[in-house]
Structure 1
Amino acid sequence: MKLRKGRAFGAVTVLAALIAGVVSCNVVGRTEINNGQPVTSGSSSAETTEATEPITEEQPDKVVHVVAAGDNLIHYSVFKNAEALAGGVGYDFKPMYSEVKYLVEGADLAILNQETIISQSNPIRGADGGQLIFNSPPEVADAVIDLGFDVFTMANNHLLDMGTDGLEESIRFWNQKAEENNLTVLGAYLNEEDANNIRVREVNGVKIAFLAYAHHINGFDSLLDDVPLRVIKNEEEDVIERQIKEADQLADVVIVSAHWGEDDTTVVTDDRIELANKMVDWGADVILGCHTHTAETMEWIERDDGTKGFVYYSMGNFICAQTDNFNVVGEMPDFDIVIDGNTNELRLENVGCIPTIIHYESEFSNMKIYPYSKYSPELAERHGLPYAVPQGSYPEFGWDVINRIIDEQIPAEFRKLDK
């Protein structure tokens, strides 16, 4: 699919045309032009070197293989699994991600929505006790960095679960991790200047800009009024437009993380469609939707000039301990960014997503994320969701339920079931 970016450069000409003159001895007569070549009338001997054809050297395309993942949502039962895996000393989240590690490691660029903050001065929380408040242990970061993620987006509704001090601590924590591990972190910022510092990462010679926006902050938005901390919300369309247009000038590709929609729904509302179209018109090439905790549809959006961007309306959960069947089926976007070696035009190729299943058994034990290709009817039969306490509103589960959710939410042309 041919996309925009009019930074075309011409083909490389290696040899210029060379035209040799006529060499003659004992010439009698005059020189004439015949079909564009010099000829000599009368008695002469002449040598003519014809103009050589220009030779164009094809340049290789620049290619970046990208994978992404939705909400890394560390519920109480998620970190209790990690605690058990660590033998009671600290937390070990790595085994829960092991079945998808090959997908993340195999990408040139991997992007994750980190849904929960990490504030070591506050108690660990995971929406236990009926309160939807989260704070995760630092071992979460170690696990997802080890998994191979390069870019972490933080714009979400749980940023102020530990107040402004907790948010600032979490931002500084991730900034330190970024310095130590060559990561890109965005979505929550120390101040306005930081928020306007558009993150650009170069991968395989391709410059990629990242932006991230949040729908709301669980009603705690006013806490940001008296501190320099900055989170850009979806309603600030003037800021979003300015930033996307600036990012479009700074980079070859613009990827936007959009935290939007309503929890536990699969209907893509008109306001999100409208905002997605605006973002693409302003210059976004890929939109990675988060927040609904459900896998939602995806589509191309065409600009007035005929070029296109692509939107994943919601990737769903990467990991969680939720108890409705639609919460445990997610998406890992999977696509290639291609910059044409000769025209410098951008294309998105092999665009789609890998369905994932969050598996757990009785009492949320043996928790692990599986790609669809590595899951099975036998594992589905052992899933603990139908028996979870408290029970969800949609407790039916099995291989047929997984396939029904995929069939309903992921268009057939975008399903990557064998990766």
Structure 2
Amino acid sequence: MNTAPKDFHSSAVIGGIGDILVHDWVYEDAKTKNGYNFKPIFQPVKSLLQGTDLLIANQESIPGGEKLGISSYPIFNSPFEIVDAIMDAGVNFLSTANNHALDKGEAGILISISYFEKKKLPHVGTFKDEKDQQTLRIENVNGIKVAILAYTYGTNGIPLPEGKNYLVNIIDKKKILLELKRARSQADIVILSLHWGIEYMRQPTEEQKELAKLFTNGGADVILGTHPHVLQPIEKLRTEDGRDAYVVYSLGNFISGQMWDYKDIGGMFEFKVSKDIIENVKNIKISDIQFHPTFVFNQNLHHYRVYPLKEAYQKGMIDHSYNEIMQHMMNGVK
């Protein structure tokens, strides 16, 4: 006897945060007698981050560990403990495609991936071999299949080793469109992390806008932008196939040693995905678009903490108000 398939209703809260970029001031502040402890840095925003079911961060500085030599700008290498700290705070997925991906060469990529695997932390953007690069990252979140792709404009002029182009995903329109199509055929929602734009510019370039239209029309539901180190606005786009897609042109720095001129302001982009299947008809909806601005505070390069911006403003840590930043970010979301 055949029974009719049951209707399905589920939802998930998904978040994205910007650059985890560990400058020397930050790791020196986190140094302990037997390693590093970055966990206190994220304590003021931990409850905010843990309100998501899936939280994606851009791991900008390679966490290659102490054997490779901990280092800062321009060639970064971070302690493994930064990974432990962001996971403790609520991050459960990493984008690793950025201009610092090759700072420690192939060794840095392989060691960091080995650590992610040890911690069972999924990631996309850097890969250990061709098979790894060809494997779609699809997270099952409350029964909703979320595909995540990540690409960077380049690697600071450091060439990919010969025959090993798979190590880092570089932005290539044709390849990305093919991957978006593949992802759409297997997932309910597709998130694309793009390392793009111009550093310290608070508005997207024409190229970013063109790529956003191309890739949302090509299948991306959400684009999470990184690289400029400052916040760039969120925009809602209507795709050619009738979907509402959202682009955060830049999520800014979530934690870094950079200061002033908006470089110490980041935040978490948050949205809800609903999945309903009624009589074999599937409906996916993105709603409840939110942005939660954050501020990186320090006292003379010590006691680094990430605060909700509203709290930092009320405590007199910063001159930029919550309202100012929200207006900057949310005007394009109607």
TM range (shorter): over 0.9
Residue equivalent to 1:184: 122
Aligned pairs (5 A) from 1:83-122: 83=31, 86=32, 88-120=33-65, 121-122=67-68
Q: Map 1:286-301 onto structure 2 (within 5 A).
A: 286-301=222-237
Equivalence for 2:328: 409
TM score, norm. by length of structure 2? 0.92
Structure holding more strand per residue: 2
Shift of 1:159: 1.0
- Name the CA distance, whole Å, in 2 between partners of 1:317 and 1:405: 17
SS at match of 1:375: helix
The counterpart of 1:138, out of the listed 65, 68, 80, is: 80
Partner of residue 149, structure 1: 91
Paired residues of 1:190 and 1:228 also in contact (CA < 8 A): no
Query: Is this contact kept in 1: 2:129–2:166, CA < 8 A?
Result: yes
How many equivalent pairs are there? 329
Sort the Cα spacing of 1:138 and 1:13 in 2 relative to 1 into closer, same or farther, 3 A. closer
Q: CA deviation at 1:413?
A: 7.7
Corresponding residue for residue 386 of structure 1: none
Q: 1:405 to 1:192 in 2, by over 3 A?
A: farther
- 1:344 is paired with a residue whose SS is strand
Q: Do the aligned partners of residues 176 and 297 (structure 1) sit closer, same or farther apart at CA in structure 2, a change above 3 Å counting? A: same
Aligned residue identity for 1:310: Y
Offset at 1:373? 3.7
Following TM superposition, by how much is the alpha carbon of 1:126 offset from its aligned partner in structure 2, in angstroms? 1.8
5+ unaligned residues in a row in structure 2: which ranges?
Answer: none
Deviation sequence 1:383-417 (CA, Å, 0-9, x none) = xxxxxxxxxxxxxxx33x345751562125869xx
1:317-356 → structure 2 map (5 Å cutoff):
317-342=253-278, 343-356=281-294
Distance change in 2, residues 1:377/1:104 (3 Å): closer
Deviations 1:63-115 (A, max 9, x none): 001122100010111111111xx3x3311100000111112222111111111
CA contact (8 A) 1:202 1:208 kept: yes
Q: Which residue is equivalent to 2:148?
A: 210
1:356 and 1:102 map into 2 onto residues whose CA distance is 13
Aligned-pair distance for 1:184?
Answer: 1.7
Tell me the C-alpha RMSD between the 2 structures. Answer: 2.1
Q: Which has the larger radius of gyration?
A: 1
- Please report how far the alpha carbon of residue 166 of structure 1 lies from its aligned counterpart in structure 2 after TM superposition: 2.0
Higher relative CO (Cα under 8 Å, sequence separation at least 6) belongs to 2
The secondary structure found in structure 1 opposite 2:258 is: coil
Amino acid at match of 1:69: I
After the TM superposition, which segments of 4 or more aligned residues of structure 1 sit over 6 Å from their partners? none
- In 1: Cα distance, 2:284 partner to 2:11 partner: 10
Q: Is the 8 A contact 1:92 1:139 kept in 2?
A: yes
1:193 is aligned, of 131, 147, 160, to 131
> Residue in 1 aligned with 2:175?
239
Q: Distance in 2 between matches of 1:366 and 1:96?
A: 8
- Structure 2: how far apart are the matches of 1:184 and 1:323? 30
Deviations 1:132-172 (A, max 9, x none): 11100111111111112111110000011112222222222
| Distance in 2 (alpha carbons) for counterparts of 1:94 and 1:247 | 34
Counterpart secondary structure, 1:110: strand
Alpha-carbon contact 2:149-2:192 (below 8 Å) kept? yes
Structure 1 segment 40-79 matched on structure 2, within 5 A: 59=7, 61-79=9-27
Which AA in structure 2 matches 1:207? Answer: K
Aligned to 2:211: 275
- 2:234–2:332 contact (8 Å) kept in structure 1: no
Check 1:404–1:345 CA distance in 2 against 1; reply closer, same or farther (3 A cut): closer
SS at match of 1:193: helix
Provide the rounded CA distance (Å) in 2 between the counterparts of 1:379 and 1:139: 30
**Residues 154-198 of structure 1, C-alpha deviation per residue, up to 9 Å, x if partnerless?**
0000011112222222222223322xxxx3211101122211111
Q: In structure 1, list runs of 5 or more residues that go unmatched.
A: 1-11, 15-56, 381-397
The separation in 2 between residues aligned to 1:247 and 1:13, in whole angstroms, is 28
Partner of 1:20: none
